[in-house]
Amino acid sequence: MTTRFSLLLQQSPFAGQSFASALQFARAALAKGYLLEQIFLYEDAVLAVQPGIDLPADEPDLAAQLARFCQQQQIPLLYCVTAAEKRGVFSDINADAKADKSANAPPPFIAAGLAEFAMRLTGTKVVQF
């Protein structure tokens, strides 16, 4: 039986190493043949879904890298709606994906609640960043 993981990110993508570490873990897990069931953004990690963030040229956009990775690997990238609303993330976060009609990929971020995340955990190991 293949080991299945779910990742839980709680720190802002603009502070600390959590997004970089999660991406590194996800890539390594898939390379070893493990399954990655979902990635859930909670608390300040939901700031990653805010469109229009203008980072300095010398800073990597880890939120965009995570979104691309999840799209390429077809891994659900969920974010907590309540945490997003509490932090003022209200705009249409999937507008760019909807505007690009040539892309057949699903929108990178999926609105969810903490209960949905919990229901998806059956049979998975949770790794928290």
Indicate which residues carry an active-site annotation.
Answer: 80
| CA–CA gap between residue 46 and residue 24 (Å, rounded) | 19
Of 100, 90, 106, residue with least CA distance to 52: 90
Q: Could you tell me which residues are beta bridge partners of residue 40? A: 8, 78
Looking at residue 43, the DSSP 8-state letter turns out to be G
Strands laid side by side in the 110-112 sheet: 110-112, 77-80, 35-41, 4-9, 125-128
End-to-end CA distance of the chain: 25
Residue 8: closest CA among 35, 43, 34? 43
